[in-house]
A and B are shown apart, each in its own frame.
Chain A
Amino acid sequence: KQEVTQIPAALSVPEGENLVLNCSFTDSAIYNLQWFRQDPGKGLTSLLLIQSSQREQTSGRLNASLDKSSGRSTLYIAASQPGDSATYLCAVRDSGYALNFGKGTSLLVTP
Chain B
Amino acid sequence: GAVVSQHPSWVICKSGTSVKIECRSLDFQATTMFWYRQFPKQSLMLMATSNEGSKATYEQGVEKDKFLINHASLTLSTLTVTSAHPEDSSFYICSAVKGAGGPDTQYFGPGTRLTVL
Binding site for B on A (CB under 8 A): 4, 32, 36, 41-46, 49, 89, 91, 93, 96-104
Closest to A4 in B: B43
Tell whether, in the assembled complex, residue A93 and residue B93 are in contact, meaning their CB atoms are under 8 Å apart: no
Closest Cβ neighbor of A44 among chain B residues? B108
Contacts of B42 in A (CB 8 A): 103
Q: Are A41's CB and B104's CB within 8 A?
A: no
Binary CB contact string for chain B from 24 to 54 against chain A (1 if under 8 A, 0 otherwise): 0000000010101000011111100100000
Main secondary structure of the interface of A (DSSP, over half): strand
Chain B residues contacting A104 (CB-CB under 8 Å) are 43
Given A41-B113, A98-B49, A99-B46, do A93 and B103 touch, yes or no (CB 8 Å)? yes
**Given the complex of chains A and B, what is the CA–CA distance between A45 and B108 in angstroms?**
7
Q: Are B43 and A97 in contact (CB under 8 A)?
A: no
Chain B residues within an 8 Å CB radius of A89: 43-44
Query: Does B106 lie within 8 Å of A43, measured CB to CB?
Result: no
A101 shortest CB reach to chain B, Å: 4
Whether a CB of chain A sits under 8 angstroms from the CB of B97 is yes
Which chain A positions have C-beta within 8 A of B95?
44
In the complex, what residue of chain A is closest to B46 when comparing beta carbons? A98
Contact B109 A43 (CB under 8 A): yes
With a cutoff of 8 Å between Cβ atoms, the chain A residues found around residue B43 in the complex are 4, 89, 101-104
Nearest Cβ distance between residue B38 and chain A, in whole angstroms? 8
Measured CA separation A41–B109 after assembly (Å): 11
Q: Given the interface contacts A41-B113, A98-B49, does A103 sit within 8 Å of B41 by beta carbon?
A: yes
Q: Report Cα–Cα, A33/B108, bound state, in Å.
A: 16
Cross-chain contact B110 with A99 (CB below 8 angstroms): no
Verify B103–A97 contact, CB threshold 8 A: yes
Instruction: State which of A32, A36, A43, A100 has its C-beta within 8 Å of the C-beta of B104.
Output: A32
